[in-house]
C-alpha cells in the first residue's frame, strides 16, 4: 500500500503498487482477502477506481460500520502494509475505448467507482466516444472524487437526493424514468448503458431505461450490497 486518500468522511481511496500486476480493464474489480492471526478469513470485492493507464492501482472503499473488511481498509491500513489481492476479476461490466459509445453511465453512491476508471481510461486513450455520467448522491459532501469530474472531459450531472447546498442548480431528486428521459440519449441513438449501485437503485434505473425503449442487451448492470463490498 502506497497511500491512503480521503474522498469523503466515509470513503477513502487505497493506492496500491501490487508486484507483477498484469494490468486490468476499466470496470473490473479485485477481491481483497484479510486473514486474522487465528486463521479466520474474510473476503470482499472492490471495484478498481484507476484507469489501466494510471501508474498505481486504486481501490475506493466505503466504510461500512458492521463490515468485516472495509473498516480495516479505511481505518487501520498504513502505507507499506501488504494486502492479499485476487484479480483483476470480471469480464462483463467493462468498457474499453475500442467499444465506442455513446456511453451513458448511471451511478448510485459508491457505484460511481468503476465509472471513474472508465472515464479516466476514455480520457487517457483519447477516445472521442460521447460520454455522460448521471451520479446520484445523498449530498454534495458524499460525492466521491468531487474535484476530479470536471477535468475528465465527460458530461457529468449530479443529483443530490437528500441535501442540497444553497444555490444548487443540479438535480435534486431520485433517479426515475423522467430524469433518465431527460439525461439519456434517445433509444434510437443506441447508447451503451452501464448502471452501478445498490440493488434497488440498479433495478429502478434499469427498469426505467427499458420502459423508455432502451435495448436491454445494451444495458449492463452491477449491484453491490452491504456484504458484497464495492
Asked if 223 is part of the footprint of other proteins (rule: CB under 8 A), the reply reads yes
Asked if 39 is part of the footprint of other proteins (rule: CB under 8 A), the reply reads no
Q: Where are the beta strands (DSSP E) in 53-175?
A: 57-62, 84-89, 103-108, 131-137, 155-160
* 41, 199, 211, 213: which one binds other proteins (CB under 8 A): 199
Asked if 86 is part of the footprint of other proteins (rule: CB under 8 A), the reply reads yes
Distance between CA atoms of 166 and 98, rounded to whole angstroms?
A: 41
| Residue 115 CB partners (closer than 8 Å, separation 6+) | 105, 107, 133, 135, 194, 196
Asked if 172 is part of the footprint of other proteins (rule: CB under 8 A), the reply reads no
* 100, 153, 213, 228: which one binds other proteins (CB under 8 A): 228
Nearer to other proteins by C-beta: 107 or 156? 107
Q: Least CB distance from residue 56 to other proteins, whole Å?
A: 21
Q: Least CB distance from residue 89 to other proteins, whole Å?
A: 4
* 36, 89, 172, 211: which one binds other proteins (CB under 8 A): 89
Asked if 35 is part of the footprint of other proteins (rule: CB under 8 A), the reply reads no
| Residue 157 CB partners (closer than 8 Å, separation 6+) | 132, 133, 134, 135, 170, 171, 183
Give 3-state DSSP helix, strand, coil % of the chain, rounded to 5. 25, 30, 45
Tell which residue, 57, 7, 54, has the closest CA to residue 32.
57
Asked if 222 is part of the footprint of other proteins (rule: CB under 8 A), the reply reads yes
Residues in touch with other proteins (CB under 8 A): 29, 31, 43, 45, 86-87, 89-93, 198-200, 220-225, 227-228
Amino acid at each position: 500500500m502506497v497511500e491512503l486518500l480521503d474522498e469523503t468522511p466515509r470513503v477513502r481511496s487505497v493506492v496500491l503498487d501490487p508486484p507483477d500486476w498484469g494490468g486490468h480493464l476499466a470496470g473490473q474489480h479485485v477481491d481483497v482477502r484479510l486473514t486474522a492471526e487465528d486463521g479466520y478469513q474474510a473476503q470482499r470485492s472492490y471495484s478498481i477506481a484507476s484507469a489501466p493507464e494510471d501508474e498505481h492501482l486504486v481501490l475506493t472503499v466505503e466504510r461500512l460500520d458492521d463490515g468485516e473488511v472495509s473498516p480495516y481498509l479505511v481505518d487501520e491500513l498504513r502505507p507499506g502494509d501488504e494486502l492479499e489481492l485476487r484479480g483483476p476479476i470480471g469480464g462483463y461490466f467493462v468498457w474499453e475505448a475500442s467499444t465506442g459509445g455513446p456511453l451513458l453511465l448511471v451511478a448510485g453512491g459508491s457505484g460511481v467507482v468503476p465509472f471513474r476508471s472508465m472515464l479516466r481510461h476514455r480520457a487517457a486513450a483519447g477516445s472521442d466516444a460521447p460520454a455522460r455520467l448521471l451520479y446520484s448522491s445523498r449530498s454534495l459532501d458524499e460525492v466521491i472524487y468531487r474535484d476530479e469530474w470536471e477535468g475528465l472531459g465527460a458530461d457529468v450531472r449530479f443529483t443530490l437526493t437528500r441535501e442540497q447546498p444553497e444555490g444548487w442548480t443540479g438535480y435534486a431528486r431520485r433517479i426515475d424514468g423522467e430524469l433518465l428521459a431527460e439525461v439519456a440519449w434517445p433509444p434510437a441513438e443506441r447508447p451503451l448503458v452501464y448502471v452501478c449501485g445498490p440493488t434497488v437503485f440498479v433495478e429502478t434505473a434499469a427498469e426505467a431505461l427499458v420502459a423508455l425503449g432502451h435495448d436491454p442487451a445494451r444495458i449492463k448492470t452491477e449491484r453491490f450490497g452491504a456484504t458484497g463490498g464495492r
